[in-house]
């Protein structure tokens, strides 16, 4: 009997054994990951503290308003004070939880970890700002100031689980975020008349929530239906591994495997963003995106995409947090024929930089830009040509075929090869994440300009937290587009 015949005869037996083998392999990998998690850094009180005063969806009783929400926020920050006081021995000298330390946000002119309101002398519109996962309202502070200066009332909402301790994200759900957004949208919409503009601006996970709320408000306008969405690095597609965000739970309930619930455990030196990241938070974002895409596809399939408000989105071509291709394929290709526009910040295409790239993240984008061009309005902020660091805004209009270049008078800073997910909403003069030119000492360590040089494995903070670009060198173009849209809408 030849080997082929032997294999065919053995197939039924193999079919019986394969599930058992697969289960054994999966179990082995699962246990290996759990055991490996024990090598992560020690958990601190901000990884284990339970802050039970934060707003939850169950607290959204009939008539719950912003005052009700802020009441919960005051209580949870009072709990945070007790946690910080107990963490004095464990806190880093430059950590956010060292009371009175240089990076203690309580000592800053404004603690932007909390919800904030900005009100112009004359209100012409309103905007609700929704920050990203592990972030705080600070990430959209500058956007809020731009809109305030154009006559918009601005509510920068702190989403549940944020701005306090990383452990707070371990118990928060997407339903809690949705309930908070509805309270914020109702309040912001009520600040203006029915014919005045009402925007929702969402960054990263906040962009997902902005889209999610806009879809819900189509069915129920009483929720606060926006007239425009501004999405910055929107999370409409993340790594498929986020779906496994709950697999840790059976073992992580045991003290021996308590670190297994964490994706990363890092020192908390950033005053406005968690560095440590619980796996359950990624799972909540994954489920939020899945539910959003199901509702979005249903709306588009019914031919009702035009019922969505116009979307102005800003996205880095290089993004290690969300999938840029999902913004193109899962969102904007379905918005053809609407007033929406996508602005993409390209990688640095000066000739001498090309050989350093492992791959080109814009392959899908390049396919869409081939004649006859994308079926939606697209602007690419990119090098004017391969011999210069100067950039242009290259815009394709639907049906036009060829793009139109607009010189911006901006160029790539020396050594910068791309933007990043976390850099898009911050200007170069941001006191925390900017290039250091602002030089404002009362805002802690200027994290965006720290460029450590030295030997490996010496720093207590992983060096990759410093090498990722934290500001947008082309933010002035983003600001101009916001101003133009605000003036046009109002």
pLDDT in tens, 304-346: 999 999 999 999 999 988 888 889 988 999 998 889 999 999 9
Q: Does residue 107 form part of some domain?
A: yes
Q: Does residue 3 form part of some domain?
A: no
Q: Listing from the earlier edge strand, what are the strands of the sheet with 198-203? A: 116-118, 152-157, 125-130, 198-203, 228-232, 311-316, 341-345, 377-383, 390-396, 404-411
Q: Does residue 26 form part of some domain?
A: no
pLDDT at site 232: 98
Residue 21: which pLDDT band, with cuts at 50, 70 and 90? Answer: low
Q: Which of 322, 168, 307, 179 is nearest to 237 (CA)?
A: 322
Q: Under a CB-based contact definition with an 8 Å cutoff, are residues 199 and 146 in contact?
A: no
In this predicted structure, the answer to whether residue 487 has a pLDDT above a threshold of 70 is yes
Outline where DSSP puts E strands in 85-240.
Answer: 116-118, 125-130, 152-157, 198-203, 228-232
Q: Does residue 407 form part of some domain?
A: yes
Residue 111: which pLDDT band, with cuts at 50, 70 and 90? Answer: very high
Q: Give Cα 276 to chain centroid, integer Å.
A: 15
Q: Does residue 455 form part of some domain?
A: yes
Residues 6+ apart with CB under 8 A from 58: none
Percent of the chain residues past pLDDT 90, beyond the cut: 61
In this predicted structure, the answer to whether residue 403 has a pLDDT above a threshold of 60 is yes
Q: What share of the chain is helix, strand, coil (3-state, %, to 5)?
A: 45, 15, 45
Q: pLDDT for 23-52, tens place per residue?
A: 666 667 667 677 776 778 889 999 999 999
Residue 444: which pLDDT band, with cuts at 50, 70 and 90? Answer: confident
Backbone φ and ψ of 264, nearest 5° = -135, 145
Q: pLDDT for 256-308, tens place per residue?
A: 778 888 889 999 999 999 999 999 999 999 999 999 999 999 999 999 999 99
Q: Does residue 22 form part of some domain?
A: no
Percent of the chain residues past pLDDT 70, beyond the cut: 88
Q: Does residue 323 form part of some domain?
A: yes
Residues 6+ apart with CB under 8 A from 465: 266, 275
pLDDT at site 7: 45
pLDDT at site 438: 62
pLDDT at site 353: 82
Token match 């160029």: residue? 411
pTM for the structure as a whole: 0.92
Element (H, E) at 392: strand 390-396
Domain with 85, as residue range(s), is 39-489
Structurally, how many domains does the chain consist of? Answer: 1
Residues 6+ apart with CB under 8 A from 13: none
Residues 6+ apart with CB under 8 A from 360: 347, 366
pLDDT at site 35: 74
Q: Does residue 16 form part of some domain?
A: no
Residue 200: which pLDDT band, with cuts at 50, 70 and 90? Answer: very high
In this predicted structure, the answer to whether residue 240 has a pLDDT above a threshold of 80 is no
Q: Which of 481, 204, 208 is nearest to 319 (CA)?
A: 204
Mean pLDDT estimate for the chain: 88
CATH number of the domain enclosing 258: 3.40.50.1820
Backbone φ and ψ of 250, nearest 5° = -55, -40
Residue 241: which pLDDT band, with cuts at 50, 70 and 90? Answer: low
Residues 113, 92: Cα–Cα separation, whole Å: 19
Least confident of 84-98, 244-258, 326-340: 244-258
Query: What is the average per-residue pLDDT within 152-169?
Result: 97
pLDDT at site 95: 85
pLDDT at site 238: 62
Backbone φ and ψ of 64, nearest 5° = -60, 130
Residues 465, 451: Cα–Cα separation, whole Å: 10
Residue 474: which pLDDT band, with cuts at 50, 70 and 90? Answer: very high
pLDDT at site 242: 54
Token match 């700002």: residue? 129
Query: What is the average per-residue pLDDT within 73-84?
Result: 93
């Amino acid at each position: 009997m030849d080997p082929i015949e032997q294999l065919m005869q053995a197939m039924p037996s193999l079919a019986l054994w394969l599930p058992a083998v697969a289960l054994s392999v999966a179990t082995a990998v699962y246990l290996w990951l759990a055991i490996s998690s024990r090598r992560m850094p020690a958990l601190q009180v901000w990884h284990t503290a339970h802050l039970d005063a934060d707003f939850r969806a169950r607290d959204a009783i009939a008539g719950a308003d912003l005052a009700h929400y802020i009441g919960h926020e005051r209580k949870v920050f009072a709990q945070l004070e007790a946690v910080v006081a107990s963490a004095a021995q464990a806190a880093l000298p430059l950590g956010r939880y060292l009371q009175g330390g240089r990076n203690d946000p309580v000592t800053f002119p404004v603690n932007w970890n909390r919800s904030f309101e900005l009100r112009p002398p004359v209100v012409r519109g309103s905007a609700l700002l929704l920050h990203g996962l592990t972030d705080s309202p600070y990430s959209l502070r500058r956007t809020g100031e731009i809109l305030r200066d154009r006559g918009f009332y601005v509510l920068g909402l702190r989403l549940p689980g944020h701005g306090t301790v990383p452990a707070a994200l371990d118990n928060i759900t997407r339903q809690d975020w949705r309930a908070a957004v509805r309270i914020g949208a109702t309040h912001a919409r009520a600040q203006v008349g029915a014919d005045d503009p009402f925007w929702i601006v969402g960054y990263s996970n906040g962009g997902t929530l902005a889209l999610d709320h806009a879809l819900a408000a189509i069915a129920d306008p009483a929720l606060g239906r926006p007239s425009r969405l501004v999405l910055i690095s929107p999370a409409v597609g993340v790594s498929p591994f986020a779906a496994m965000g709950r697999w840790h739970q059976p073992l992580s309930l045991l003290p021996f495997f308590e670190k297994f619930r964490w994706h990363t455990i890092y020192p908390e030196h950033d005053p406005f963003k968690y560095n440590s990241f619980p796996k359950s938070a990624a799972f909540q974002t994954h489920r939020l995106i899945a539910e959003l895409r199901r509702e979005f596809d249903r709306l588009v399939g019914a031919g009702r995409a035009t019922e969505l408000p116009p979307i102005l989105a800003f996205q880095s071509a290089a993004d290690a947090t969300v999938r840029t291709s999902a913004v193109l394929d899962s969102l904007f290709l379905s918005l053809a024929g609407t007033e929406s526009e996508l602005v993409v910040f390209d990688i640095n295409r000066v000739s001498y930089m090309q050989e350093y790239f492992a791959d080109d993240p814009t392959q899908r984008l390049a396919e869409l830009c081939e004649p006859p061009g994308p079926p939606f309005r697209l602007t690419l902020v990119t090098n004017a040509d391969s011999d210069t660091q100067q950039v242009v805004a290259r815009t394709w209009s639907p049906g036009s075929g060829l793009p139109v270049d607009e010189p911006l008078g901006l160029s790539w800073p020396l050594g910068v090869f791309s933007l990043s997910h976390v850099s898009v909403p911050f200007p170069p003069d941001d006191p925390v994440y900017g290039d250091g030119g602002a030089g404002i000492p009362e805002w802690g360590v200027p994290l965006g300009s720290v460029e450590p040089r030295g030997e490996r494995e010496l720093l207590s903070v992983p060096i990759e937290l410093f090498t990722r670009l934290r500001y947008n060198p082309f933010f002035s173009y983003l600001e101009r587009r916001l101003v133009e849209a605000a003036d046009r809408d109002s």
